[in-house]
Amino acid sequence: MASPVLTVVTGRPGTGKTTLARSLAREIGCPAIVHDEVTQGMVLANSPTRTTGLDLAFERPALTVFFDVIAVLARAGVTAVAEAALPGRLWHPRLEALTGLAQFRILLCTAPTSIVRARIQQRIETDPNRRARSDELLESVDPDTAPEREFDPGIATVPMLTVDTTHGYQPGLVAISRFATRPDPDEALEA
């Protein structure tokens, strides 16, 4: 059996990672594992009166579950897309542990800070649970405290593509899906 491909979608909060991960998973026909959704599922199971929002008390257990699900899928030979706004130091050891089970691709989402701040501000205004964490969320997009390079998992042998999400995707979704699925991702971008 051929190795599955795990496409990691990472970057600062507000860079369009979740939207890209879902779109890519639909495009290539595989599951998308979204860290914030795992966390939200834990919140709902433990606090049934809450219907939305993240709870920091569940961050560590959700991180364990997130990576456990990725590992189970890799061991089963399932190609998947995994999305999280995690610093590279958290991605790196967990991906290294799976190197014999899956091929990896990294998509690093980027957008100008002004666009990212506007997206975060819109989320704060429409989600009362995020409003309580507004200072933390806005701090998380400050390039001085959360530079893009901190979200790079830092595995030199893994192909990485930077995706500008300012207006849609640059490169486009078709090129991104070729990058995520072809045996030689560099060749896929030239096609």
Q: Provide the residue ranges of all domains of the chain, joining segments of one domain with +.
A: 5-190
Helix 59-75 / helix 88-96 crossing angle, nearest 10 deg? 30
Q: How far apart are CA 93 and CA 62, in angstroms?
A: 17
Polymer length in residues for the chain: 191
In the numeric block, the tokens 């830092």 are attached to: 154
CATH T-level assignment (fold) for domain 5-190: Rossmann fold (3.40.50)
Q: Cβ distance 60 to 68 under 8 Å?
A: no
Per-residue pLDDT of the chain (191 residues; tens, 9 = 90+): 578 999 999 988 889 999 999 999 999 999 999 998 888 788 777 765 554 444 556 778 888 999 999 999 999 999 999 999 888 888 888 888 888 889 999 999 999 988 888 888 887 777 665 555 556 666 666 655 566 677 767 677 788 999 999 999 999 999 999 999 887 766 655 55
Q: Cβ distance 18 to 36 under 8 Å?
A: yes
